[in-house]
Amino acid sequence: PARPLPSPLWWSYLSAPHRLAATAMPLSKDDVSGIETVAHYTHDEDQAYLMLYGEGVFETIPIEADYTVGDMKLWLNFHKGKDPAEYDLVGPKGCWKMGAGSEVLGDEVVISEVMGERFENKWLMQLSLFPKKKSEASGQWESTFETIEEWVPPPPEEAWDEEDDDEEKWKKDVEKSEADN
């Protein structure tokens, strides 16, 4: 007798983005050696791009759905000589959305999963490099980044007022702030 086909729900579960973490294969040095930067990013409906920014790095590279944070660290080591022990890669807390907050991402994190619709729509994405500090006591590199919790921007009517355009008031506020410090 013929075997019944699995339910469509089962197939959609296997192909869902959250399954990529289980199936992602780390890139090799040969793989990352072939990933070239793009000089001038323009939106591309067929290719996703990621900007790596901070610690003397400002590069945009093409990425695929299964690339991990660890893959990006390998790319940074190969192309920029960056020791992964000396920095963190920071991205959205949870899954990207406006005001999501930011956190240090582990090497196993699949970039397309934390970027969500930014990856799906092929919008430019960014991971930031934050330096670590060497502990005098232990000699170990320690993170300097503090997680930023979700924030909600104020409504437009509260985000700006006419005083924001008052340059003289701004200069006095700066002088006061500097005097207080």
Contact criterion met (CB below 8 Å) for 90 and 130:
yes
- pLDDT-based confidence at 26, cuts 50/70/90? confident
- pLDDT-based confidence at 14, cuts 50/70/90? very low
Q: Which of 51-60, 92-101, 165-174 has the lowest mean pLDDT?
A: 165-174
Residue percentage of the chain with pLDDT more than 90? 62
> Is the confidence at residue 73, as pLDDT, over 80?
yes
Q: Encode 76-106: b = buried (16+ Cβ within 10 Å), e = exposed.
A: bebbeebebeebbbbbbbeebeeebebbbbe
> Is the confidence at residue 114, as pLDDT, over 90?
yes
Among 45, 83, 41, smallest CA distance to 58 is for: 41
- pLDDT-based confidence at 163, cuts 50/70/90? low
Average pLDDT over residues 59-71: 95
Average pLDDT, the chain: 84
Distance separating alpha carbons of residues 154 and 50, to the nearest angstrom: 28
Distance separating alpha carbons of residues 79 and 63, to the nearest angstrom: 15
The verdict on pTM exceeding 0.85 is no
Q: Which two tokens stand for residue 97?
A: 């959305």
Distance separating alpha carbons of residues 57 and 121, to the nearest angstrom: 25
Average pLDDT over residues 109-133: 95
What is the structure's pLDDT at 105? Answer: 97
Cα-based torsion angle of the residue sequence 150, 155, 159, 163 in order, rounded to the nearest 10 degrees: -160
Contact criterion met (CB below 8 Å) for 75 and 35:
yes
